[in-house]
Amino acid sequence: MIIVTGATGFIGSCLISRLNQENFNAIIAVDDFSREDKLVNLEGKRILERVDREDFFDWLDENYHEIEFLFHIGARTDTTEFDRSIFEHLNVEYSKKIWQKCIDYQIPLVYASSAATYGLGELGYDDNEALIPQLKPLNPYGESKNEFDIWVLEQERHPFFWAGLKFFNVYGPNEYHKSRMASVIYHAFCQIKQMGSMKLFRSHHPNFADGEQMRDFIYVKDVIDVCVFLMHHRRNSGIYNLGSGKARTFLDLANNTFLAMGVTPQIEFIDTPEDIRDKYQYYTQATMSKLRSIGYSQHFKSLEEGISDYVKNYLMPENYL
Q: Is residue 60 part of a domain?
A: yes
Q: Is residue 142 part of a domain?
A: yes
pLDDT at 155: 97
The sign of the torsion formed by the CA atoms of 221, 291, 150, 57 equals positive
Q: Is residue 139 part of a domain?
A: yes
> Which residues carry a binding-site annotation?
10-11, 31-32, 38, 53, 73-77, 145, 169-170, 178, 180, 187, 201-204, 215, 280
Q: At residue 100, does pLDDT exceed 70?
A: yes
pLDDT in tens, 23-54: 999 999 999 999 888 999 999 999 999 999 99
DSSP state of 297: -
Alpha carbons 308 and 261: distance in angstroms, whole number = 9
What global pTM score does this model have?
A: 0.95
SS3 content of the chain, % helix, strand, coil (to 5): 45, 15, 40
Q: Give catalytic status of residue 97 as yes or no.
A: no
Q: Is residue 65 part of a domain?
A: yes
Q: Are 198 and 263 in contact (CB under 8 A)?
A: no
Q: Which of 178, 199, 246, 279 is catalytic?
A: 178
Alpha carbons 132 and 139: distance in angstroms, whole number = 16
Residue 192's identity, in one-letter code, is: I
Q: How many domains does the chain have?
A: 1
pLDDT at 43: 96
Q: Give catalytic status of residue 176 as yes or no.
A: no
Exposure letters 103-112 (e unless 16+ CB within 10 A, then b): beeebbbbbb
Q: Is residue 131 part of a domain?
A: yes
**Distances from the Cα of 81 to the Cαs of 72, 96, 137, 142, 180, in angstroms?**
21, 21, 14, 11, 12
CATH code of 38's domain: 3.40.50.720
pLDDT in tens, 195-227: 999 999 999 999 999 999 999 999 999 999 999
Closest CA to 217 of 291, 270, 143, 283: 283
Q: Which of 94, 141, 240, 296 is catalytic?
A: 141
pLDDT in tens, 254-312: 999 999 999 999 999 999 988 888 778 899 999 999 999 999 999 999 999 999 999 99
The domain containing residue 41 runs over which residues? 2-171+218-245+285-300
Q: Is residue 259 part of a domain?
A: no
